Structure 1
């Protein structure tokens, strides 16, 4: 079966880890190609001579790593979606907004994916001390419009994001609505008279929280990247702070940095 090899009973590793390793090797070598279905549970049980639970543990390990996905009633498949290429020097280009595209829509399409967004929630609430600090809000004017949403590429969740926009900027615009209109949040910020000038980003990596795992539909062993972004207008006024959690294996971050 695909030259999978056998379980070595003298190996100190548990059989399920050996099986996961053999399948992982086939995926890395391309013998199990993106989108290809893994051998069935029954086939793997017969080939390796192990219990059903052992096979399930092996497959679960691969699912936790993001290498395979299970489709109900169909089987387990090698993950087919290539990474979304996030080109930082281009994703916020004004031409995308002028074409009615949000940053995620532009980068997903450029990577060959169909982009969508769901689970949108919009609230108006007092800013926390940290959000107020980042947006330089005064105690007398510290309300923010909070926009939570989940982004999908080809129907699979790849990112969740929460944006905080000063209520004074968002008031009377599509930012306070579920549907912001063409071009997304940044187009509405510019419509409100705040021409965007630059962004700062802080990136780190960690394991997801239980809520994040559920929203992103990933296993406990799949890491995420966190990206904290602040947008500034031409007067150096912070106009949005965004806290983003990305499925690590779903993204490739690309930066074009000038040598000054």
Structure 2
């Protein structure tokens, strides 16, 4: 597995190239076929290769480079459209969440308030790139139960309510692995790491916290440019 990884990283193997068969790899490395199969399974779980039934295994195509912005001044939708990407968004849920001390503090909500999470999947060129989850309080947005299931862009929603300039309180970046539900939504394997970006969105005019945002980005199909403007 390490040797194949070295070939991928050193670009000895080209994107889209077919890998040798299990029998060929068994002969080359002088190991049992099960060892070869286990190695290939791990590489597939980590998102480096994929299988085509009846044809074999192939190295993933080259990653698409996406601008990953860590600031909250512009909406994700606007950023992607300005960059010329074919972006589509699907609203997947709007539901009330149980009390969470840290999360409720982030958006200045108390125990008696109702907080909702609104989830959207982002697609670039037809491929799922990220899950966006926004946590908002009905104290700030009394119509969120009715409006939430229809929202694709939170910033567009805020602008309709008179909020026009935004900033991030702070942004945190971490890594996680997808749950079974996230694997289905993002069309990825269990061992493909997800980049997690969390931040609080603030209305500049009032200094009010509008939402806490958690974004899960696929790491296997895209390269992320995090250069700050």
Bucket of the pairwise TM-score, normalised by the shorter protein: 0.7 to 0.9
Identify the match of residue 69 of structure 2 among 68, 76, 87: 87
Distance 1:175 1:231, change over 3 A: farther
> In structure 2, what is the Cα distance between the partners aligned to 1:92 and 1:166?
20
The offset of 1:122, in angstroms, is 1.4
Identify the match of residue 60 of structure 1 among 41, 49, 70: 41
Q: Which runs of 4+ in 1 moved over 6 A?
A: none
TM (norm. structure 1) is: 0.69
Aligned to 2:121: 150
Aligned to 2:162: 193
Aligned to 1:178: 149
Q: Say if 2:77 and 2:87, in contact at 8 Å, map to a contact too.
A: no
Q: Say if 1:228 and 1:242, in contact at 8 Å, map to a contact too.
A: yes
Distance 1:40 1:84, change over 3 A: farther
TM (norm. structure 2) is: 0.77
SS at match of 1:106: helix
What residue ranges of structure 2 are gaps of 5+ in the alignment? none
Aligned to 1:9: none
- 1:20-59 to structure 2, matched below 5 A, reads 20-59=1-40
Larger Rg: 1
Q: Say if 1:169 and 1:189, in contact at 8 Å, map to a contact too.
A: no
> In structure 2, what is the Cα distance between the partners aligned to 1:35 and 1:43?
19
Identify the match of residue 246 of structure 1 among 200, 213, 217: 217
- 1:90-239 to structure 2, matched below 5 A, reads 92-93=73-74, 102-103=77-78, 105-106=80-81, 110=84, 114-118=86-90, 120-125=92-97, 127-140=99-112, 142-172=113-143, 176-180=147-151, 184-199=153-168, 200-209=170-179, 211-213=181-183, 215-234=185-204, 235-239=206-210
User: Higher relative CO (CA 8 A, sep ≥ 6), structure 1 or 2?
Assistant: 2
Q: Say if 1:68 and 1:78, in contact at 8 Å, map to a contact too.
A: yes
SS at match of 1:33: coil
Aligned to 2:58: 77
Distance 1:51 1:128, change over 3 A: same
Q: Say if 1:144 and 1:165, in contact at 8 Å, map to a contact too.
A: yes
Distance 1:201 1:103, change over 3 A: farther
Q: Say if 2:195 and 2:217, in contact at 8 Å, map to a contact too.
A: yes
Question: Number of residue pairs matched?
Answer: 225
Q: Say if 1:201 and 1:228, in contact at 8 Å, map to a contact too.
A: yes
> In structure 2, what is the Cα distance between the partners aligned to 1:187 and 1:75?
45
> In structure 2, what is the Cα distance between the partners aligned to 1:45 and 1:116?
44
